[in-house]
Each structure stands twice: as C-alpha cells, then as structure tokens.
Amino acid sequence: MAPSGSRSIKRGCQRVLYWIPVLFIALIVAWSYYAYVLQLCIESIEDTGEKVVYLLAYHVIFIMFVWAYWQTIFTRPMNPLKEFHLSHSDKELLEREDRGESQQEILRRIAKDLPIYTRTNSGAIRFCDRCQLLKPDRCHHCSVCDKCILKMDHHCPWVNNCVGFSNYKFFMLFLAYSLLYCLFITATDLQYFIKFWLNGLPDTQAKFHILFLFFSASMFSVSLASLFIYHCWLVCKNRSTLEAVRAPVFRHGTDKNGFSLGFSKNFRQVFGDEVKYWPVPVFSSSGDGCSFPTCLVNLDPEQPSSPSGSNPTNKTAAEGRQFPSKPLRESQSRLLSSTPSWSESDGAADKDKKGASNPGMTIENEA
C-alpha cells in the first residue's frame, strides 16, 4: 500500500513539474503584452494613427499565437485504435510462447489484417510491450506520456504534450505565429529602442520595458526561426523528427523517403485540402493517423492492399475485414488518386517491354 502511495505522489509531483516550462512561457507572453500595449503603445507612442495600427496588428497576431499555443497544449494525442490491441486470447497465446520466432509468427498472423508496412531494424513486427499492441506505421511509444502516440514527432516540454498526428498542424502554426509575434515586436520596437540609446525617451519606467522587450523578442526570433525552418523542411519531406533521426524500416529495407509523396501532397497531408483552414488552428489534417500512403515500389505482399485501394480484388477482400473498412479519409485518398501506383505502372511497363523484345518467350509461357 505504501509503495503505491509513494508512486502516486511521485507521479503527481512530476505532473506539476512538467507544467513549469508552460508557466514560464505564459509569464513571458503576459509581460510582453503589458510592455508592448501599455508601456510602448499607450505610454510612449504619441502619434495616434501609428498607435492604432500597431495595436490592431498586434492583437490579431497575439490572438492567433495564443490560440495555436492553446490547441497544441490541450489537444490530446491520438492513440492506436482498438484493432491494433491484442485480444485476450492473443495475449495468452503470446505469453505461452517463448521469446523469439514463435512470437513473431503470432504477430505476423495478426498484422496480416492490419495496414502495417514498417518493421523494426531486424525486420520484426513492431510491438509495444507496455501497451500490448501492434504499432501502426509512424507510431511510437512516449516514455513521458507512457502511451503509444500516432505519428509521434516528439514530446515537447514547452507545451507539456506529445506532438503527433492530432496536433502537429497546431504545433506548426504555433511556431509560425510565435515567430511572427516576435518579429513584429522587434520591428515596431526598433525605433524606440534606438531612441533609448540616444536619450530620446523620457526618463520613465517605460524605457526599461522597451529595452528588454526588444532584446527578448529578437533573441526568441532567432531560436524560433531555426526551429520553424527545420519543421518546414520536415513537412516538405513528410518526415517526423524521429524519422529524421532514424529512417523508417520497410520490408525491403530502410527508406527515409518512404512516406514522401511530393511537396504538395506532403503539405496537404498535414494542413488538409481546404486552403481556408490552413492558417487557422482547427484540425484539418488528412487521414486517420493509423495508415499512410507510401511511395514504395516494392509493396509488402503479406499486408493488406495499398491505401489508394486501386485493386478491386484487394478491395473486395478488405470489405470482409472489420478493419480498416475505410483506412483513409476521403481527403487522404485523393493524395494518391492523381498518380498511378508505381508498382503497377512499372510492372506493366516491364511486361510490355519483355513482350516486345522477346515474343517467343511470351508465347512459350502462355502455352
């Protein structure tokens, strides 16, 4: 009884400590609001037109920044669906078997009915012992949250949350609007920062807020710019931070570009198809987080049909399965609708080429 009570107290203390970085950011933002609105715009700027323009633009950026930050913090990460969890009978069967190939055979049998294409470095099925489930593609177990997170990018202490499929768009908008927020403050505060050094400001407490506001905004701009550029690169390549560090492993081997569909489709996979929702912190990402279209030439023959669902035979077989009845949303299905499957087009081209170059061999095989 005592050990469980001490563990619960320890977990409670950890939860409180995890909110310290978020509290630090909230205090910095609250002070910046006071310094910019009250000390700079109201107290220091004398021109009414300039004051109104600065305040209007500032509040638009401030609202979008806080909205995106809020969504990143309080949007719960999505976990794998129940179809990826082992049933009670499968758990008992797995526990009875020795660790090794026999367990992998059980996992491979279960994985045949699921849209799973990635493997471990050794080629085994990705299985989470903590959550007792088969990991969907791009899913990883977070040691801080103690859960498997769909399309996990990283656990961010500044938002006290896992950044993954459900809130990656919000995280990108948070970086974008926070960078814009800092750049706007730096640009509009610059002339008054120069006046401070030339003794052109009245000797009030406002000048010290103006000084530190410029320094803090410019320093945050540098760090945010580097982080935002890096994640823009990841979006263009359709990679997560974890996949950039360690490329995903497919049946045919490691492929760092296995999920890349081209810049436009990669971008729409995160931000969605409707342009009007791109700058707004509302969920519009494509797909369900459990299955993703790939650009692989060598598809896994042991797995269900490709997410594009172009093969009618495989489609009929998939309809008989409980999962996935609709593996991709309509918006994600359109990601591959404009381009034919590489394996089908290459296979057809090779077949035509062989038939044209060696008709005798074709007749012999048909006979």
**Bridge partners, 118 (sequence order):** 250
Looking up tokens 């609007």, which residue turns up? 177
**Bridge partners, 134 (sequence order):** 127
Of the candidates 41, 131, 139, 156, the residue annotated as catalytic is: 156
Neighbouring residues of 34: CB distance < 8 A, sequence distance ≥ 6: 209
Q: What is the DSSP letter of 159?
A: T
- Known catalytic residue at 182: no
Element (H, E) at 141: strand 140-142
SS3 162: strand
Residue 289 phi/psi, 5° resolution?
85, -15
Cis upstream peptide for 324 (omega within 30°)? yes
Three state DSSP letters for 305-319:
CCCCCCCHHHHHHHH
Please check whether residue 148 is in contact with residue 141, taking contact to mean a CB–CB distance below 8 angstroms: yes
d(CA 84, CA 246): 23
Please check whether residue 132 is in contact with residue 86, taking contact to mean a CB–CB distance below 8 angstroms: yes
Please check whether residue 183 is in contact with residue 198, taking contact to mean a CB–CB distance below 8 angstroms: no
Active site residues: 156
